[in-house]
Amino acid sequence: MLRDMFSRMSRSNVEVFKMAVYTIIPIGAMYYAGVDPDKRFGIRDFWPAPETLNYPPHEFDDVKSELARMKEERKKRRESQEQKLKELEELEAKQLAILKSKGISVDTVKSPPQ
């Protein structure tokens, strides 16, 4: 069908037809994508809710209080880590005492096998 149509057209008519197709297809695609793109391509909950965003403070007093809060948080975290380390050291000391009481050499336990 297309072959018959193109065979009856002169070369200049074929070029005009190709030019029309080449211009109509991009315009149609842009029209399709441009009319209400939020409805066609929208992803629900793509952007975070405004109340969940982090807004940095702008006033000096706000900056100062935020810095104090961050320092306090860092101090609590450090104390927690030190407490965990202390508990691990105590556990290791108990384990070494048990090994010594059983007569197992501590030096062989600490060194990795080669």
Q: Which of 44, 41, 68 is nearest to 57 (CA)?
A: 68
Is the model's pLDDT at 6 over the cut of 80?
Answer: no
Domain borders along the chain are 1-36, 83-114
State the residue for tokens 């060194």: 111
Q: Mean pLDDT, to the nearest integer, of 14-20?
A: 89
Is the model's pLDDT at 29 over the cut of 80?
Answer: yes
What does the pLDDT look like over 31-71, one tens digit per residue?
Answer: 988 887 777 777 777 778 888 888 888 899 999 999 999 99
CA distance 74 to 93: 29
Question: Lowest mean pLDDT: which of 3-12, 55-64, 97-106?
Answer: 3-12
Whole-prediction pTM:
0.44
